[in-house]
Amino acid sequence: MRILVTGGGGFIGSHLTDFFLSRGDEVVIVDDFSTGNRKNLLHLESNPKLRVICSDLGKSGTVQEACHGVDAVYHLAAAVGVALIAKQPTQTIHRNIYPTQLLLDELRRHHLAGKPIPLFLASTSEVYGKNPKPIWNETDDLVFGPTTKPRWSYGASKAIDEFLCMACVREHNMQIVIGRFFNVVGPRQTGAYGMVLPRFVEAAMQGKPLMVHDDGHQTRCFAHVSDVIYAITQLMQTPSCYGHIYNIGSDSPVSILQVAQQVISIVNPQATIQFQSYAEAYDDDFEDIRRRVPDLSRIKKAIEYSPRHHLTDIIRDVWKDKQRSMG
C-alpha cells in the first residue's frame, strides 16, 4: 500500500510513518516542519519507500501531488500545543481548517471518480471545550467559551474539521474515521509548545523547577503513542468504523501535580515543583479545563482497544528519549 501521512514529521506522524514502513508500505509525508522536526525522520532517510514533500498543504498543487496514487490518508497536520495556540489564534484557525477543506475536496474528487481513498482525521479532546460532564463520550455537546478568548480557537477549528468530514460522509458516503486524541505522549514529543510531560522531564533533567500551572489538581489521562498508533491503524482497517468518531487515549486520570511528582521520583529526586498562574504562563484571559477524561466504550467495542502502557512506563520512555536527544 501507499500511505499519505500529513504532518508526518511531527510527534505522532513520525511514529505512524515508522509503523507503515516497518509493515512494508510506501509512505508519502507532507510537512512544512513549522512544528514538526526533521530529526524525527533521520533514522528513515535511507528508506527507499519514504518520500517527503516539504510543503504546506495549502500551497497550490501540494494536495493533488500528495494524494496521487495513495491508498489511504492520515491527516495529522495541524496547529499544535496550547502555548502556540494562545499566541497565534489566527494561524491556528487557518492551519486547521483550510488544508482540511483542500484535502477533502481532492478526496471527494477521487471518490466520485470511483476511486475512494479512506481518510483518518486526527481531532482532539479540545473539541469538548468545557463540557461539565466528568467523563466525555462522542455524542456529548461541544461547549466552547467566548470568541474573545483565543484558547478556544483550537477546539472550535478542529470541530469545524469534524463537521466538514461528517458532511462528506453524509453527502457522498466517503470513507472517513475521526479520532479525538486525549493527551498522547511518548518519545519525540517536545515541550516547546506547552506539552506538559516532556516539559516536566526536560526540567527535571536540567535540575530546573517543574512549572505546575494553577494548583496542579487538573486531571488528565495520558496515553502512550504506541497505543494510539495501534488504535488509529486498527480503526482504519475496520470498515464498520467508517463514518464514526472515536475517543482515543487512556481512561486513567491523574492530576498534573501527581505527574510532576512521579517525574521527579523517576528522573531527578532533587528537582522541585514551582507553581505558576495561567496569566503568567499564557495570558490574563486563559481558561483551562479542570478534568479531561474520555469514555472509551465505543473504541473498545469497535476494535477491542485497551491501553497497555502505564504512566510510569511513559515517563521512563520519554526520559530515555530525552537522554539520547539531549546527551
Give catalytic residues, as residue numbers. 154
**Alpha-carbon span 157 to 326, nearest angstrom:** 34
Write out the DSSP string of 57-69: TTSTTHHHHHHTT
Residue 210 and residue 75: Cα distance in Å, rounded? 33
Is there a contact between 247 and 294 (Cβ–Cβ < 8 Å)?
A: yes
CB 140 within 8 A of CB 150: no
CA angle 72, 10, 91 (to 5 degrees): 95
Collect all residues with Cβ–Cβ distance below 8 Å to 156 and sequence separation of at least 6: 93, 129, 144
Amino acid at 89: P
CA–CA separation, 183 and 304 (whole Å) = 20
Residues 6+ apart with CB under 8 A from 118: 71, 72, 73, 175, 176, 177, 236, 242
Side-chain-facing half-sphere of 89: CA atoms under 13 Å? 13
DSSP state for residue 224 in the 8-state scheme? E
Quick one: DSSP state of residue 77?
-
- Contact assessment for residue 119 and residue 174, using Cβ atoms and an 8 Å cutoff: yes
**Distance in angstroms (rounded) separating the CA atoms of residues 190 and 14:** 13
